[in-house]
Structure 1
Amino acid sequence: GCGPGEPIARNLRETGCVVTGIDAAPEMIEIAKGCFPDATWLVSDMRALNLNATFDGLLAWDSFFHLSPDDQRLMFPIFRRHAAAGAALMFTSGPSFGEAIGTFEGERLYHASLDATEYRQLLDSNGFDVLDHVIEDPECGRHTVWLGRLRR
């Protein structure tokens, strides 16, 4: 989810974007509302998202890879349903297929990733062209980043 909105919501808003953030944790949404009261913040599980709206950009940064491989596969039609014609989709994944348990602030944290070929197939079959794919980008904290655009 969007978490507390910092720093991504701030950066997007500074460039003139209208921000809608989704997180399953009500406490994260409350923090985001306090920091950015003029943005839209919604408590929801991304796997069940149905906003009856489309957006010019969709971002799943440090959130999507916490879903199981099966749930990740099911997210691509949800991305498609919420993407306006020509919309950008950016998400982070693992560098290769697998599952891992890490830690964050002393808590166990699940991570999963499909392989690059499957992500490309899922993007294509849901109407997205891959514009870029950078594995463990040194300029982004070694995140593996995908950028797609919905075909018009």
Structure 2
Amino acid sequence: MAKSENRKYYTAIVVAALIACAVVLRVLGKFDILRVPGGIARSLIYIALYIGWGISVYRRILYAPVRRYMVGVSFLAVFWFMLRTLKYHFVASPNVIRHLWYGYYVPMLFIPLLFAAVSLYLGKSETFRLPIWAKLLLYPPPPCFACCWY
């Protein structure tokens, strides 16, 4: 077996083991065993998996716009889990919790949008550029975040 095949299997085993650890921590948290430390550890596991996925995407995808959008999705997923971890394990103020909840909407809106932009690149040549209407979707209107500041 080639060295790259062994590496693929090793990576798959490590990822499966990390996900299994996260599931075990979740089950233990349901029974009030290691609830807070387990929740933080579980979040760190998922953040590490998203960072690893982003690094993998950065190394494997050659087409720069697609790579940029996919790494952006990885960044947004890490941001989402950081907000979630802060909200549930570190913050007690209701106002801060509300702002963190509104912060969830940034990745929730942009992750599907970035994947839609990636889908527009599928099957196109490397000289293809997104049309103007598609690029305009990537910029939120100013009132979009006005609800967070009252």
Instruction: Give the TM-score of the pair, scaled to structure 2.
Output: 0.24
* Higher percent of residues as strand: 1
Give the structure with higher Rg (CA).
Answer: 2
